[in-house]
Structure 1
Amino acid sequence: MKSYAAYLLRRFGQFVLVMFIGMNVAFVVTHATPIDPVEQSIAAATSFGSTSPEAIAMMRESLRELYGLQGGIWEQYVGFWKRVVVLDFGPSLSAFPTPVSTLIWRALPWTVGLLLVSTAITWVLGNLLGGLAGYLHNNRTLNVTGLLVMGFHPIPYYIVALLLLIVFGYVWPVLPITGGAQMNMARGWNFDFVVSVVKHSVLPVLSLVMVGLGGWFMGMRSLVSNIVSEDYVVYAELGGVAKSRILRSYVMRNALVPQVTGLAMSLGGIFNGAIITEQVFGYPGIGALMIDAVHAGDYSLVLGLTSVSIVAVSAAVLLIDMLYPLLDPRVKLA
């Protein structure tokens, strides 16, 4: 029990360190950009008519206060961490005066739902098919399935997404191709709205699954192909142990440990796929919100989205680290 507590303490320390470094990188990158959000906001506000210098000076001072850009770099850094702690990144420029936190919490459930479902399906299905293909290597159906999933793996997200748009939006228009739910529908936990959300998420989830499935399939198949030649597996087969038990308890469980490691490493890149997929399908998540914020030069919104993404990915990796001992008890003593 003490070893497990020490393991959790070390992992939590790594989580805090990673989050701290990521937040600092986000602060440095946003402050190193050549775009001045204050001057850009002033230029947008004064583009429709002349404004007195006194009004512009007052506007500049107010905007610097709103964006947390008052004082020197140290004062701005301290102010940034104060905003992070209370989750207040000020108002959004592109949706002024709506707070950044409101926009993020409005878009975050869409992206979290999309990524959780697609990642879970991809990881579980890819490992299951890969494990079966590695153990039953002469099965023709599994071999053909492997060729199909590996064929989609090197194709970029946007190519697969556009292909799905053409097929299911124009050639065989049976699924909605844009948005997160039907417009002008009352939102809430009612049957019609849930069905609409599921229909609108089919194509985005399918595009992510089709591209990501091949990687997990190939990795699991390679791991299982090596494990089946181990002495303990050969001994179990000679001892008359049922193949289903060998596959479940002797092969798959041992092969899953590296795959869980791969899952933790891949979480850092899942938002890349979300940004592309949400932009293609007009999905109302943080990926589409990030693109709009960059185009609008919305400094506060970009900083808020980056910070939330860092925390979310770091927390997900911490959760997977906590599940490690359930798969491999030796991890507790490492």
Structure 2
Amino acid sequence: MPGYAAYLLSRLGQFVLVVFIGMNISFIVTHSTPIDPVEQTIAAATQYGSTNPEAIALMRQSLRELYGLEGGLGAQYVAFWRRIAVGDFGPSLSAFPTPVAVLVGRAIPWTVGLLVVSTVLTWILGNALGGLAGYYRKNRVLRFAGILAMAFHPIPYYIVAFILLITFGYLWPVLPISGGYMMNMERGFNLGFIMSLLEHSILPILSLVLVGLGGWFMGMRSLVSNVVTEDYVTYAELGGVSRRRILVSYVMRNALVPQVTGLAMSLGAIFNGAIITEQVFGYPGIGTLLVSAVHAGDYSLVLGITSVSIVAVSAAVLMIDLLYPLLDPRVRAR
């Protein structure tokens, strides 16, 4: 497929450009902040007593080497990209001397699991209900489901999260409201830990699903309402094709293509919502780690989290873009 090969190269070029621009913005923002991580570390280390000036100077030099802040802005920029190339963002200020890569590596599986499950559930439920509601427009159950989905859609993530926390943590305390698993439990691939993991993830996932469901529902219902008026759908109905086959093969399949693109575009927004959700429920993911890093002024950790997030979201969008022409035969890869 020479056409698809050209399309692949163009999308890879866009991916590299997006990551490059995002990394540069991250570098500019972090280096424009008035917080100096070196001086902040020195102040924290000397706040309980005087220290020899020579020792402070040596500490300052060592910390600048650790954080890649030696030389002018150009030298720091080169050091920044050198560290990104090898995946080394230096040690964390708030968890010194633990490397940033270790902290991010510990938190990523929690956020990825939370986002994958909530995104897949929201996308499947929203598109399924929206497609059925658009095709069976007189069904009262589907109409009521649409009203509920649209009622939650304009509510902010944190409001839904707090409602769930109060409801299932205090009024009807049947679910855990904080943490990723039960305290003092040994982590491992065993039934007890897996059940605790699933139990602690119910409320964070539910808060993301309830808010995101309405958007997919309304979008799919509108798309299906337009598709059912097409001539090929009318001919299929007149030809005696079963309604189930028409819905699945003729209507839903064609209406689903824009929703696949929307899935990639929504990943970044869902990640922002997960930051708030993780903070509300004390979930040990990237969101909680980022908030802690900002409060502690942890320069390296913030830079590491933002860089990983930029690459992850860009890669997800790239994957969807590469699948798009394969899912829709009407799209010509150029």
Same fold (TM over 0.5): yes
Following superposition, the deviation at residue 329 of structure 1 comes to 2.0
Does 2:264 align with 1:302? no
Map 1:263-278 to 2 at 5 A. Answer: 263-278=263-278
Q: Which residue of 2 aligns with 1:202?
A: 202
Following superposition, the deviation at residue 253 of structure 1 comes to 1.0
Q: Is the 8 A contact 1:164 1:207 kept in 2?
A: yes
Aligned residue-pair number: 334
Q: Which residue of 2 aligns with 1:80?
A: 80
Letter of the 2:196 partner, please give it. Answer: S
Q: Is the 8 A contact 2:325 2:333 kept in 1?
A: no
Letter of the 1:331 partner, please give it. Answer: V
Q: Is the 8 A contact 1:253 1:327 kept in 2?
A: no
Letter of the 2:208 partner, please give it. Answer: L
Q: For 1:14 and 1:256, how far apart are their aligned partners in 2?
A: 24
Unaligned segments of structure 2, at least 5 residues: none
Does 2:60 align with 1:60? yes
Deviates more, 1:73-82 or 1:319-328: 319-328
Q: Which residue of 2 aligns with 1:153?
A: 153
Q: For 1:48 and 1:322, how far apart are their aligned partners in 2?
A: 57
Q: Deviations over 1:28-61 (max 9, x none)?
A: 1100111111111111111111112211111111
Q: Deviations over 1:81-136 (max 9, x none)?
A: 11111111000000001000000000000000000000010011101100000000
Following superposition, the deviation at residue 306 of structure 1 comes to 0.2
Following superposition, the deviation at residue 270 of structure 1 comes to 2.0
Map 1:89-168 to 2 at 5 A. Answer: 89-168=89-168
SS in 2 for 1:331: coil
Q: For 2:48 and 2:270, how far apart are their aligned partners in 1?
A: 41
Map 1:217-256 to 2 at 5 A. Answer: 217-256=217-256
> RMSD between aligned alpha carbons?
0.9
After TM superposition, the score normalised by the length of structure 2 is: 0.98
Deviates more, 1:148-157 or 1:317-326: 317-326
Q: Which residue of 2 aligns with 1:184?
A: 184
Q: Deviations over 1:240-273 (max 9, x none)?
A: 1111111111111111111112112111222211
Q: Is the 8 A contact 1:7 1:332 kept in 2?
A: no
Identity of aligned residues (%): 76
Unaligned segments of structure 1, at least 5 residues: none
Q: Is the 8 A contact 1:179 1:283 kept in 2?
A: yes
Q: For 1:23 and 1:101, how far apart are their aligned partners in 2?
A: 16
Q: For 2:50 and 2:278, how far apart are their aligned partners in 1?
A: 39
Q: Which residue of 2 aligns with 1:215?
A: 215
Q: Is the 8 A contact 2:185 2:193 kept in 1?
A: yes
Q: For 1:333 and 1:284, how far apart are their aligned partners in 2?
A: 41
After TM superposition, the score normalised by the length of structure 1 is: 0.98
Q: Which residue of 1 aligns with 2:19?
A: 19
Q: Deviations over 1:156-214 (max 9, x none)?
A: 11110011011111111111110001111111111111111000000000000000000
Q: Is the 8 A contact 2:39 2:60 kept in 1?
A: yes
Following superposition, the deviation at residue 332 of structure 1 comes to 4.0
Q: For 2:303 and 2:172, how far apart are their aligned partners in 1?
A: 41
Following superposition, the deviation at residue 326 of structure 1 comes to 2.9
SS in 2 for 1:167: helix
Q: Is the 8 A contact 2:257 2:324 kept in 1?
A: yes
Q: Which residue of 1 aligns with 2:175?
A: 175
Q: Which residue of 2 aligns with 1:311?
A: 311
Map 1:31-46 to 2 at 5 A. Answer: 31-46=31-46
Q: For 1:7 and 1:236, how far apart are their aligned partners in 2?
A: 34
Q: For 1:2 and 1:332, how far apart are their aligned partners in 2?
A: 11
